[in-house]
Amino acid sequence: MVRKTREEALKTKQNIMDVAKQLFCEKGYEKTNLSDIADVAGVTRGAIYWYFQNKDDLFIELCKDMIDTDTNLFHLVEAINRDNLSPLQSLREWLYRIDESLRCKDNILFIKIINNVLWGNHGSTRIKKMLRDINSDFNKNYLLLIKDAIKKKELPENVDPVKASNFLCSVITGYIMQYVDGAQSDIVDYNKPLVDMFIEQLPKFIF
């Protein structure tokens, strides 16, 4: 009986998080309240407070849950086997999987939710800091791989790693947003040529 109760509790919690994810995406973080989530999830506000202290806690756990999936780009970079690949090969293999990530509905929702909070200037200071930290940690991957590529002479030693990583971060972010916003829905179909073209520009960022 106890085991069944735990399973039901986990199922209820997951249902709350699934509904919150959809509403945060559709209405935005600021305009979604716990009553909205409770109504759609078919639970009481009290049930939500059983699992989460407040909307911020629900949002934070939801983001962490969405990052920790096999197809999320935040997770994919950690899955690259760098022992068998050079830094540039690792970078290339990671970015080759953008199309896989963008074809997953949950990842699209995740990107939209983050953008709503960061660029719409919504959410508490705690929420904004968490998302900025996530974004910063993610972007550091570009810099670390490019620095390693310079050390291993895959890139010229006079390449500015900061400028090169900023470039790569900007074009990849722009590419992703073109798809997420629906401006260019077929862009993922030629993901690999785009990634190759972006990486070929890195030796040009000399100082």
pLDDT tens track for 111-148: 888 888 877 767 788 888 888 888 888 888 899 999 99
pTM: 0.80
Q: Please name the helix (run of DSSP H) or strand (run of DSSP E) that holds residue 19, with its range, or none.
A: helix 2-27
Q: Measured in whole angstroms, how far is the alpha carbon of residue 201 from the centre of its chain?
A: 24
pLDDT in the model for residue 1: 39
pLDDT in the model for residue 15: 95
Positions of the chain with pLDDT lower than 50, given as ranges: 1-2
- Least Cα distance to 91 among 137, 135, 141 occurs for 141
pLDDT in the model for residue 82: 64
- Rounded to a whole number of angstroms, the distance between the first and last alpha carbons of the chain is 67
Give the torsion sign (CA, 102, 105, 111, 112).
positive
